[in-house]
Amino acid sequence: MCEYLHTNIIAGANAILPAHTVGNDHTPRLPKDLETLIQHYRFLNRVLHSVKLLRKYPHTFSSFHDHKWSGYLIRLNNIFNLYNSTFSPIPVLPSTLFSCRADNFNNLLHTLSHASKLLRGLHLLKEKEFQDSSIKAHLESRDQNFDTDISSFINSALSRSCRHIVLDHVFIDHPTTLQLLTDPKDVSVAVTNHFQHAVSIRSSPPTHISALPDRWRSEYSPMNTVSPDIYSSLLSPPSLEEWLSTVSSMPNDKAPGPSMITYEMLKHLGPTTNSLLLSLIRKYFASADIPDLW
């Protein structure tokens, strides 16, 4: 029954509830050659877009376009020569845009489009290689930290940054002699001495509450205003109202457990499924036998 209910909850949620993909938003720093490749690819696409506009609106052509093309031509040829292993053979571009008006820029557009696709493919390949190498380097670093620096390993595994405080001076409030320490060695000794002797360590723990200091005795003594009867219903099976109230109070957008059932899925259950699920919960609660699936 548990497996049947679990399967139907997951299937119903996948069919009805909206879903979105979440992931790590960390963007690693790109190597210089990949950044350069991306810049060249974007530049090539800008030139391609300009040529497309000229083909669509040929009446807008002027000497200004030829003047800009002279600068574009130098950079495009540099790009083709830089990645000559990708562009084989290297595309031949016209010296002026005026000569391209005869075929309405079709030949130039085809050449630039093909070059853009090749550069795009190279970009994706280099980006994938960089991602793979970055993942491998981080895994190797984490494995090394596991052997040599367990603290760094834990921080890395939990994506936790190192936080610390700086103690650069200590003021000693002595009854007769006030003292301000600024020397790093003196500060270190004073701080160590403080934390070693601030709280006295007893050889054995107290055997009764009455042996505790006054400030702790009041904290650990039973409160007369609290009735012991409040604990009598702790092991009572939950009612339907308690179950629905608990589910509705749960936050959204939380990662599911091993069952892969989220709070949103439980909130959208119908009355029949809710009753069936509550019956199972009561049964497992009473028998103290929690399914492995949960």
SS (H, E, C) the chain: CHHHHHHHHHHHHHHHCCCCCCCCCCCCCCCHHHHHHHHHHHHHHHHHHHHHHHHHCHHHCCHHHHHHHHHHHHHHHHHHHHCCCCCCCCCCCCCCCHHHHHHCCHHHHHHHHHHHHHHHHHHHHHHHHHHHHHHHHHHHHHHHHHHHCHHHHHHHHCCCCCCCCCCCCEEEECCCCEEEECCHHHHHHHHHHHHHHCCCCCCCCCCCHHHCCHHHHHHHCCCCCCCHHHHCCCCCCCCHHHHHHHHHCCCCCCCCCCCCCCHHHHHCCCHHHHHHHHHHHHHHHHHCCCCCCC
Residue scoring higher pLDDT (6 or 52): 52
Q: What is the pLDDT of residues 203-239, one digit of tens each?
A: 677 788 888 888 888 888 888 888 878 877 777 888 8
Q: What is the pLDDT of residue 236?
A: 83
Instruction: Determine the Cα–Cα distance for residues 30 and 128; give it in Å rounded to an integer.
Output: 12
Instruction: Determine the Cα–Cα distance for residues 290 and 294; give it in Å rounded to an integer.
Output: 7
Instruction: Determine the Cα–Cα distance for residues 109 and 86; give it in Å rounded to an integer.
Output: 19
Does pLDDT of 28 surpass 70?
no
Q: What is the pLDDT of residue 24?
A: 52
Quickly state the pLDDT bin for 106 (edges 50, 70, 90).
Answer: very high
What average pLDDT does this structure show over 233-260?
85
Instruction: Determine the Cα–Cα distance for residues 235 and 252; give it in Å rounded to an integer.
Output: 28
Does pLDDT of 240 surpass 60?
yes
Q: What is the pLDDT of residue 21?
A: 59
Residue scoring higher pLDDT (85 or 165): 85
pTM, entire model? 0.46
Long-range contacts made by residues 231-239, C-beta under 8 angstroms, separation at least 24? Answer: 237/281, 237/282, 237/285, 237/286, 238/278, 238/281, 238/282, 238/285
Q: Is 260 left (phi over 0), alpha (psi -120 to 50) or beta?
A: left
Does pLDDT of 182 surpass 70?
yes
Q: What is the pLDDT of residue 112?
A: 94
Quickly state the pLDDT bin for 285 (edges 50, 70, 90).
Answer: confident
Q: Is 161:155 a contact under the CB 8 Å cutoff? A: yes
Instruction: Determine the Cα–Cα distance for residues 258 and 293; give it in Å rounded to an integer.
Output: 7
Phi, psi of 92, rounded to the nearest 5 degrees: -105, 120
Average pLDDT, the chain: 85
Q: What is the pLDDT of residue 40?
A: 94
Which is nearest to 262 in space by CA: 282, 247, 276, 275?
247
Q: What is the pLDDT of residue 144?
A: 85
What average pLDDT does this structure show over 147-164?
77
